[in-house]
Amino acid sequence: VAQGVARVENVYGVAVTAEGNRLARCCLEDAFEPAAAAWRGLGTIPGSGLALRPEYSRFDAALRLGLDLADDGEAPGCRCGDVICGRIAPRDCPRFGVTCTPARPAGPCMVSSEGTCAAYARYGRQ
């Protein structure tokens, strides 16, 4: 700025290598293995998540508490999957602005302020 030059630089290179934190990655690899994961709006995708390796199953809260963490589905009529995949715009969901608003969200895309539908409700042009 002082030299009147405008550009973008990645300053994280000072502290982080392209390989990341090798010790942390080693610990993660020791404790976890690739596993199917349920993603809101997308369903279950094989190998897209991490699960504790069998030798650490004693720390698996879902196992110990008998929790079912499978895809919890979408609210009826919610089109979040189509919205986040870019197949439709939020306004194309019949619930948008009617039975799903930032104040009373029906689907995950409207829940948090950075959700696609919530952002569209706040900043989108009608």
Min CB(48)–ligand SF4 separation in Å? 21
For ligand SF4, which is the closer residue by CB, 47 or 94?
A: 94
- In 3-state terms, what secondary structure has residue 22? helix
Task: Pick from 51, 54, 66, 93 the residue near ligand SF4 by CB under 6 A.
Answer: 93
Report the C-alpha gap between 104 and 26 in whole angstroms.
43
Q: Interior CA angle at 108 toward 84 and 119, to 5°?
A: 65
Decide: 49 and 34 in contact? Cβ < 8 Å.
yes
Report the DSSP beta bridge partners of residue 50: 34
Min CB(100)–ligand SF4 separation in Å? 3
For ligand SF4, which is the closer residue by CB, 13 or 76?
A: 76
Distances in whole angstroms, Cα of residue 44 to Cα of each of 20, 40, 65, 93: 28, 9, 21, 22
For ligand SF4, which is the closer residue by CB, 17 or 113?
A: 113
Is 96 a binding residue for ligand SF4 by CB under 6 A? The answer is yes
Which residue's Cβ lies closest to ligand SF4? 107
Decide: 109 and 99 in contact? Cβ < 8 Å.
no
Q: Which of residues 33-92 bind ligand SF4 (CB under 6 A)?
A: 75, 78-80, 83, 90
Binding site for ligand SF4 (CB under 6 A): 75, 78-80, 83, 90, 93, 95-96, 100, 106-107, 109-110, 117
